[in-house]
Every structure is written in structure tokens, then in C-alpha cells.
């Protein structure tokens, strides 16, 4: 059940951007992880990070 609730919040965020919603309102989503203090979020885009080549391959 937790996972399903979570998936809905993620899908809602994706639907928000699909509908032209902007960043801004940080959405903190939580699963079991949140209990361990590791909640992942929608963050504002970091312009400095954008201008660096990624550490990822490709």
C-alpha cells in the first residue's frame, strides 16, 4: 500500500510537469526511506551543475 501511495505522488508530479507545471514547490516524497531520514525531493535546477559535464558516461 505504501508503494502504491508513493507511485501516485510520483505520477502526480510527472503529470504536473506534463501539464506545464513548473518547478518551485519542492515535493518531498517518502517511502519507508523517509523513516530513515532519506527522503528524495524535487529540487530546483542547479545552474552551476548544469554547466558541468556530467560524471555519467554517455
Partner 1 sequence: MYTGGVSAAAGSVVCELCPRMCELAPGRRGDCRIRANLDGKLTALTYGLPCSVHVDPVEKKPLFHFLPGTPILSIATAGCTLHCRNCQNWEISQANPEDLDVAALPPEDVVALARRTGCPSIAYTYTEPLAYFEYTLDASARAREAGLRNVLVTAGYINEPPLRELARVTDAANIDLKFMSDRLYREVCDGTLAPVLKAIELSKSLGVWVEVTNLVIPTLNDSDDALRDVARWIRRTLGPDTPLHYSGFHPQHRMRNLPPTPADTLRRARQIGLAEGLRHVYAGNVTVEDGETTHCPACRKPVLRRVRFEVVERHLAGGACGWCAESIAGVWK
Binding site for partner 1 (CB under 8 A): 3-4, 6-8, 10-11, 13-18, 20-24, 29, 31, 33, 40-45, 49-54, 56-58
CB 6 within 8 Å of CB 29: yes
CB of 22 to partner 1, least distance (A): 7
CB 1 within 8 Å of CB 32: no
Angstrom distance (rounded) from CA 34 to CA 58 = 31
CB of 27 to partner 1, least distance (A): 9
CB of 56 to partner 1, least distance (A): 4
Amino acid at each position: 500500500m505504501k508503494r502504491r501511495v508513493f507511485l501516485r505522488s510520483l505520477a502526480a508530479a510527472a503529470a504536473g510537469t506534463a501539464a506545464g507545471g513548473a518547478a518551485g514547490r519542492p515535493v518531498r516524497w517518502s517511502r519507508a526511506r523517509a523513516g530513515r531520514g532519506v527522503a528524495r525531493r524535487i529540487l530546483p535546477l542547479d545552474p552551476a551543475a548544469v554547466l558541468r559535464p556530467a560524471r555519467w558516461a554517455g
